[in-house]
């Protein structure tokens, strides 16, 4: 997963055109459309550096959770006064509930197996108020994953140059992505790699996982960008 690249994470995705402010506005519109509970407590699971929370705090009482202490350190700089938790999405326990629980930017793929997907959805639901929303942005569906296709992201600043290149392969129901980073500053050039393994779940498997938790679910194909959103109402 993300290790040495964390300090460059926001720069890379900004260079790739990711717009957290626009995505947060869109998410707010969908929440207003589907949410049935009256509260405004929101938990963003796998919050990363907190870029969605930075904008969502305009509308909600937000908290975040992430497995990585390094990500949370950056998020705390961005979100002073906001409660952030460290934990694994499959089994964390906060002993409180929320009106919205989100898991965005395809982070759900890191659970890898269908069994853990079902476990994770159940755990997220446990943190939902009646009438609240569980919102999950899926990783690529198997039919949309193009193994072997090359990608590149470039950061070009006066004092910092980053090239992130990646290749991918598929092993059964897993997508394996190897990122290669080349980073140049006035101190010199460094190179490192990271390997990310994400589960490839079919659309029907996501629905089955929600159904196992007795969640009424719709799929918004437009989503925040191109991957869509599963939106489930906690009616029990």
DSSP letters for the chain: --STTGGGHHHHHHHTT--HHHHHHHHHHHHHHH--SS--EEEEET-TTSHHHHHHTTTSEEEEEES-HHHHHHHHHHSTT-EEEE--TTT---S--EEEEEE-TTGGGGG-SHHHHHHHHHHHHHTEEEEEEEEE-PPPPGGG--TT--EEEEEEETTEEEEEEEEEEEETTEEEEEEEEEEEETTEEEEEEEEEEEE---HHHHHHHHHHTT-EEEEESS-SSSS-EEEEE---
Domain map of the chain by residue range? 6-141+202-233, 142-199
The mean pLDDT value for 29-48 works out to: 97
CATH number listed for the domain at residues 142-199: 2.20.130.10
Q: Which tokens in the block code for residue 130? A: 């009646």
pTM higher than the cut 0.85: yes
Q: pLDDT value at position 1?
A: 74
Query: Which pLDDT band, with edges at 50, 70 and 90, does 2 fall under?
Result: confident
The fold of 6-141+202-233 is Rossmann fold (3.40.50)
pLDDT at 215: 97
Q: What are phi and psi of 2, to 5 degrees?
A: -70, 125
Q: Is 70 exposed, middle or buried (0-12, 13-18, 19+ CB in 10 A)?
A: middle
Mean pLDDT of the chain: 97
Express each pLDDT in 16-33 by its tens digit.
999 999 999 999 999 999
């Amino acid at each position: 997963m993300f290790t040495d690249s964390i300090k460059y994470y926001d720069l890379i995705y900004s260079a790739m055109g990711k717009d957290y402010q626009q995505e947060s506005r869109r998410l707010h519109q969908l929440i207003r459309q589907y949410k049935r509970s009256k509260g405004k407590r929101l938990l963003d699971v796998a919050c990363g550096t907190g870029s969605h929370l930075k904008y969502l705090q305009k509308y909600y009482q937000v908290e975040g959770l992430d497995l990585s202490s390094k990500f949370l350190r950056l998020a705390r700089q961005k979100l002073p006064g906001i409660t952030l938790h460290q934990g694994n999405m499959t089994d964390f326990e906060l002993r409180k509930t929320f009106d919205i629980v989100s898991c965005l930017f395809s982070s759900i793929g890191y659970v890898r197996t269908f069994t853990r997907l079902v476990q994770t959805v159940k755990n997220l639901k446990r943190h939902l108020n009646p009438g609240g929303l569980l919102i999950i942005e899926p990783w690529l569906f198997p039919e949309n994953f193009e193994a072997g296709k090359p990608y590149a992201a470039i950061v070009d600043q006066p004092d910092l140059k980053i090239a992130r290149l990646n290749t991918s392969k598929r092993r059964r129901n897993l997508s394996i992505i190897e990122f290669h980073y080349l980073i140049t500053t006035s101190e010199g050039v460094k190179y490192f790699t990271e390997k990310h393994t994400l589960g490839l779940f079919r659309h029907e498997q996501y629905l089955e996982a929600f159904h196992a938790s007795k969640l009424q679910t719709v799929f918004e194909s437009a989503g925040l960008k191109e991957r869509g959103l599963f939106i489930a109402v906690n009616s029990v």
